Structure 1
Amino acid sequence: MKLKDVFISLSENQFLNQAAQKYGLKMGASSVVAGTTIEEAIEGIRELNRRGISCTVDCLGEFVSDKAEATKAKDQIIHVIEAIHDTEVDAHISLKPSQLGLDIDYAFCLENLKEIAETASRYEMFINIDMENYERLEPSFRLLEELTQNYPNIGTVIQAYFYRAQSDIERLKDYRLRIVKGAYKETNDVAYQDKMDIDDNFLRLIEYHLQNGKFTSIATHDHQIIEHVKRFVEANHIPKDKFEFQMLYGFRTELQYQLAKEGYQFCTYVPFGTDWYGYFMRRLAERPQNISLVTKQVFNKKTNIILGVAAGAFLLGRITKKK
């Protein structure tokens, strides 16, 4: 069992998710989650804005199976949109359809999204529909296409590890798109498994949308890919107002500041809320380097319980495999 697979499995564990909420952000996640309230998140956004960086805000939560919980999430997102407008920070919204009832009922989820889109439209605010795992991919694209019939200021995400990503980006080239590598565990019948294959497809998708698309958000912490993009846009005379770089809150902060200083449009993905556990585990799964961000929390007196479970599961998996 790979350590990446352990973290992804943990991200989907509801018992640990509920336990993590009780402990707040004391398990190391405070370095990558901008607090549990919108007021705390706004302070982080203001600091980034002062450095010339815009933000996209994620009210953490996903895989909701109760209508009341989905309605509560919808109301919270509307509250966040209003808070962004009232405080005049440079930010927009990212959201997950499963948080708004996609797994309960498609029509119910669509109505929740319409309410959110109506509020965002009044304030001329962009909405990004985040992509989740493969089974939710096509329903999420359908939601996007239905919503944009009346609310055009909505975009979505293309995940480079999917074989179908090239056809998806061609289908959606007239939308503002964020291009990512992908953060969920997918089977080899729908997704590339090798890092090199994913990276190659990631670059192909970025180049395609830079040349053929509306606006491209390039979401990566990989400085080699960033340097490749810099060379590509210069060689192909692509203006800087046609794309932006994106990174996650708390990751490679100095590089974020540097790119903004160099005059590139930059957007930081700012998550907040009590339902931080699944997000945090996937960030650890994405890159082994991410684990170093919480090393100090792991080896102090208040040992990180969740990471301890992950390490134990990993070691157990190795032992079982050897036997």
Structure 2
Amino acid sequence: MLKGVFISLSQNQLLTTAAKKYGLKLGAQTVVAGTTVEETINSIRKLNALGISATVDNLGEYSIEREEALEAKASILEVIESIHTNGVDAHISLKPTQLGLDIDYDFCYENLLEIVAAASKYNMHINIDMEDYDHLQPSFDLMDDLLKEYDNVGTVIQAYFDRAQDDLEKYKDLRMRIVKGAYKEPIEYAFQTKEDIDENFIKLIEYHLLHGKFTSIATHDHRIIDQVKKFVKENNIPNDKFEFQMLYGFRKDMQVDLAKQGYNFCTYVPFGDDWYAYFMRRLAERPQNLNLVVKQVFNKRTNTAIGVLAGALALKTLVNKKKK
């Protein structure tokens, strides 16, 4: 039930618009590394000082105007240059819909190609984030086309899709991030229960650790992390074959601890003001994440679902007051 609530909140345009305006007043800086490139680079420096790398996401998606997609491309290109100029340890994650996939495939491809080419000059990885099922195959198609010219590209496998194993085997020679999945998908092509998703998640991780090029294991679940640590030890998998990933602002102590233990660790670093939908989907992906940061984001005395709903109501209140 909570997953449906969070997905619904993420799709509420009124709340998304209000969050862009009032985000800092609600404490959005706890889950977003900055609203500018300069702020984001400073946040990455702090992570690097702790032995943690970063993958940077320019927040936003589902562009419906070419100008909007071109602005997103320009922002990502600026981040690439800034990462290089400042010498920080980071790469890029991006969403095809932000770059125009819903406008025109070729237009989106040209935007992606420019970004991948710019990153390639600095030997920088580009990760194509996966979105909902309707965009799944087109995103793989984009990656296939990009791989004809560049090799600094990877993507995401979402464990709740029943096709995930086939996709992982097809792309086992690429750097891959494996996640559970953050959208609400129909039973026709997605596992529905936590148990089934977790089981497939572990299966995919272990397969790619054994057969893949490099595995990014994206989870905040300490039980799965412990299981992976045991698996790599039993199978003599070197640390340079994988990394753990978590989101900026989530389980910060565990992120530092894993880095101190000698594991490669990468923090997913979002920046910009379009944070609300992103955060709601992170809670939909794993409602337990609610207890990790909600008390920092909405209300220091709140660490339950009421906090998120209160945050939504707070946004509505701010909007209503502005209208008056």
Name 1:316's counterpart in structure 2.
none
Name 1:295's counterpart in structure 2.
295
Amino acid at match of 2:309: L
Name 1:266's counterpart in structure 2.
265
Between the aligned partners of 1:252 and 1:305, the Cα distance in structure 2 is 18
Between the aligned partners of 1:58 and 1:151, the Cα distance in structure 2 is 20
* CA gap 1:211/1:12 in 2 versus in 1, 3 angstroms: same
TM-score by length of 1: 0.92
Q: Which runs of 5+ in 2 are unaligned?
A: 315-324
Name 1:138's counterpart in structure 2.
137
Name the % identity: 64
Question: 1:57-103, CA deviations, whole angstroms, 9 ceiling, x for partnerless residues?
Answer: 00000011111000010011000000100110000000000000001
8 Å CA contact 1:16, 1:306 repeated in 2: no
8 Å CA contact 1:64, 1:101 repeated in 2: yes
8 Å CA contact 1:8, 1:184 repeated in 2: yes
Between the aligned partners of 1:181 and 1:290, the Cα distance in structure 2 is 13
Name 1:275's counterpart in structure 2.
274
Q: Which runs of 5+ in 1 are unaligned?
A: 313-323
Name 2:226's counterpart in structure 1.
227
Name 1:96's counterpart in structure 2.
95
State whether structure 2 residue 309 is matched by structure 1 residue 307.
Answer: yes
Between the aligned partners of 1:80 and 1:299, the Cα distance in structure 2 is 32
Name 1:315's counterpart in structure 2.
none
* CA gap 1:233/1:309 in 2 versus in 1, 3 angstroms: closer
State the Cα RMSD in Å: 1.8
Name 1:319's counterpart in structure 2.
none
Amino acid at match of 1:307: L
How far the C-alpha of 1:286 sits from its partner, in A, is 2.5
* CA gap 1:308/1:167 in 2 versus in 1, 3 angstroms: same
8 Å CA contact 1:7, 1:310 repeated in 2: no
How far the C-alpha of 1:118 sits from its partner, in A, is 1.0
Name 1:3's counterpart in structure 2.
2
Name 1:286's counterpart in structure 2.
285
How far the C-alpha of 1:260 sits from its partner, in A, is 0.6
How far the C-alpha of 1:218 sits from its partner, in A, is 0.4
* CA gap 1:297/1:274 in 2 versus in 1, 3 angstroms: closer
1:221-260 to structure 2, matched below 5 A, reads 221-260=220-259
State whether structure 2 residue 217 is matched by structure 1 residue 215.
Answer: no
Between the aligned partners of 1:210 and 1:296, the Cα distance in structure 2 is 35
* CA gap 1:150/1:203 in 2 versus in 1, 3 angstroms: same
Question: 1:126-182, CA deviations, whole angstroms, 9 ceiling, x for partnerless residues?
Answer: 000000000000000011111011110110000000011001101111110000000
Amino acid at match of 1:222: D
1:1-323 to structure 2, matched below 5 A, reads 2-292=1-291, 293-295=293-295, 298-299=298-299, 307-308=309-310
TM-score by length of 2: 0.91
* CA gap 1:153/1:194 in 2 versus in 1, 3 angstroms: same
How far the C-alpha of 1:305 sits from its partner, in A, is 9.8
Amino acid at match of 1:295: K
How far the C-alpha of 1:24 sits from its partner, in A, is 3.1
8 Å CA contact 2:294, 2:307 repeated in 1: no
Amino acid at match of 2:191: Y
* CA gap 1:205/1:103 in 2 versus in 1, 3 angstroms: same
